[in-house]
Amino acid sequence: MFRSIFSRLIFLFISLLTISFLITGAILYFFLGDFLSDKKVDLLERGSEEVSEAFEDFLQNPDSILVQIYLERIINMSSAYTDSIVWIVSKDGHIYFSSYMPQRIKMKYVDEKNGFVKLPDERQYKKIVSGQEQLMKLIGGDFYGFFRDEAFSSFGYSWLTVARPLRYTDTNGNTSIFGAVYFHTPIPEVQKARSTVIGYFTIAVAISALVSIVLAYLFSLRITRPLKQIKDAARIIAGGEFQKRLDIDTKDEIGQLATSFNQMAFELEHLEEMRRGFIANVSHELRTPMTSIRGFIEGILDGTIPPEKQKDYLVIVRDETLRLNRLVNDLLDLAKMQSGEIKLNFKTFNVNELVRRSIIKLENQIIEKDLEIHADFESEDILVYADPDAIERVMMNLLHNAIKFTGEKGKINIRIFRQKDKVLVSVQDNGVGIERDELDLIWERFYKSDKSRGMDKTGTGLGLAIIKNIINEHNQDIWVESEIGKGTKFTFTLEKSRGSES
């Protein structure tokens, strides 16, 4: 049911909204009931106090018509204002005055001696008229069964009662208790007020929920729409169409995801182009020598090549076989480097001595072309921290390239010097040079500039790619500077050995 993020977000929003409103409504319902009950009790207490004061004035002036009218008015106003039944009860439990008394109750509880209704249970008046209680508060219940009668069934059977003694002070300053004043309010009146508030709250909740759901729907669409675009684009790229890009320019996490996705698509497209180029290059590099080998061997076998020239062609076959062997070895080495299978063995060694050994190993080629080698070492010993075998391969490749692309009687300069915490090694020749727009391409596998193809008969086109990988594995840098007709200069950095002189 909730398979999509959109449906899950909508469900989550609605669930959180419902839970929040239910908790708020429950808290409001219970606390509102207590709040309204407390407010009602306070109102009844003030009403009973006003009636008590007015009755005390009446007892002091029982013959005054104005005082009697005032007392009746206070009782009726308090009864109406508090929505309560007001009683005046004597010390012996007779109800002398009641703002409302059903006929059925009068007949049921009337005292035939004086004609007043008599409270049937002493608990209803004994403590309050005796002064044991200064204020009676009964919240809930039926006033000890009095309001259980069918005559009050329309009001419900749960009442709120507040009563206080009616005191009288004579001319001598003596205070006595005449009786008590009672205020009775049915609890459903309090419930009615609470229900009214809850009703308004429910309407507000319904409107808020509707607006919130609409906003949640729009917000969810805003989140899920770009995610759907990313999903569709991922499916397209998975099908091999790496040109697909996302047009999402938001500044949030989804925008950052889209940017990363586009970067990934670009890298995949570049990787695919490299893969196709690699296959094409490998095919070309393998096909050419294999075609030559096959042609020469067939020529020897069918007698096209005369016996006196067969040795010369077999030498060519041998050289092509060696080139194929170098190509396969270089491919394996490069693959191992890029997959991390070759582990570097770091140690401290003298890079000057390594350069000297490299020059000696290439001595025959240097003499053959009558090249001048000039080595500029900043000091006799310069210690570095690296893999000596890997760095020797870098140095041999750079020197071999410099020899190959430098004309006879040319010059090769080697310089090694310190710079802060690095050691810089540069190999510079005065050969043919490299075009400016090709400088960033020379690190590609099988890349050969047009000028080098005529001179590079034995190369595999992988030397500089291997050099780049070795230097990268050392977390160092290598760069090239070149100018057509003036030569090329390769420079790479190495980590200076700890404890070596600065």
Distance, CA of 282 to chain centre: 46
| Separation of alpha carbons 118 and 26, rounded Å | 42
- The pLDDT assigned to 412 comes to 94
Q: Is the pLDDT of residue 299 over 60?
A: yes
Q: Is the pLDDT of residue 462 over 80?
A: no
Of the candidates 398, 382, 389, 410, the one whose C-alpha atom is nearest the C-alpha of residue 497 is 382
| Tens-digit pLDDT profile for residues 63-78 | 778 877 887 888 888 8
Q: Is the pLDDT of residue 417 over 90?
A: yes
Q: Is the pLDDT of residue 198 over 50?
A: yes
Q: Is the pLDDT of residue 273 over 80?
A: no
Q: Where are the beta strands (DSSP E) in 257-346?
A: none
CATH 3.30.565.10 is held by the domain 347-495 = yes
Q: Is the pLDDT of residue 395 over 70?
A: yes
* Top-confidence residue, 454 or 478: 478
* Top-confidence residue, 63 or 36: 63
Q: Mean pLDDT across the stretch 291-320?
A: 84
- Which of these ranges, 64-68, 277-281, 484-488, has the smallest mean pLDDT? 277-281
- The pLDDT assigned to 186 comes to 86
What are phi and psi for residue 160, nearest 5 degrees? -115, 120
* Top-confidence residue, 187 or 186: 186
Q: Is the pLDDT of residue 167 over 70?
A: yes
pLDDT tier for residue 454 given thresholds of 50, 70 and 90: very low
| Separation of alpha carbons 294 and 313, rounded Å | 11
| Separation of alpha carbons 48 and 92, rounded Å | 20
**Please, what is the average pLDDT of the chain?**
81
Give the residue extent of every domain in the chain. 5-198, 253-339, 347-495
Q: Is the pLDDT of residue 326 over 60?
A: yes
253-339 topology per CATH: Helix Hairpins (1.10.287)
* Top-confidence residue, 234 or 459: 234
Of the candidates 202, 227, 219, the one whose C-alpha atom is nearest the C-alpha of residue 14 is 219
Bridge pairing between strands 487-495 and 478-483: antiparallel
pLDDT tier for residue 458 given thresholds of 50, 70 and 90: low
Q: Mean pLDDT across the stretch 251-272?
A: 80
- The share of the chain scoring above pLDDT 70, in percent, equals 87
Q: Is the pLDDT of residue 179 over 70?
A: yes
Q: Mean pLDDT across the stretch 239-255?
A: 77
Q: Mean pLDDT across the stretch 138-166?
A: 84
Query: Which CATH class name applies to 5-198?
Result: alpha beta
- The pLDDT assigned to 452 comes to 47
- The pLDDT assigned to 142 comes to 86
pLDDT tier for residue 451 given thresholds of 50, 70 and 90: very low
* Top-confidence residue, 451 or 89: 89
Q: Mean pLDDT across the stretch 404-409?
A: 90
| Separation of alpha carbons 136 and 134, rounded Å | 7
pLDDT tier for residue 311 given thresholds of 50, 70 and 90: confident
Q: Mean pLDDT across the stretch 427-436?
A: 88
| Tens-digit pLDDT profile for residues 80-101 | 888 888 888 888 899 988 888 8
Q: Mean pLDDT across the stretch 18-40?
A: 71
Of the candidates 64, 113, 66, 122, the one whose C-alpha atom is nearest the C-alpha of residue 89 is 122
Q: Which residue has the tokens 């977390």?
A: 475
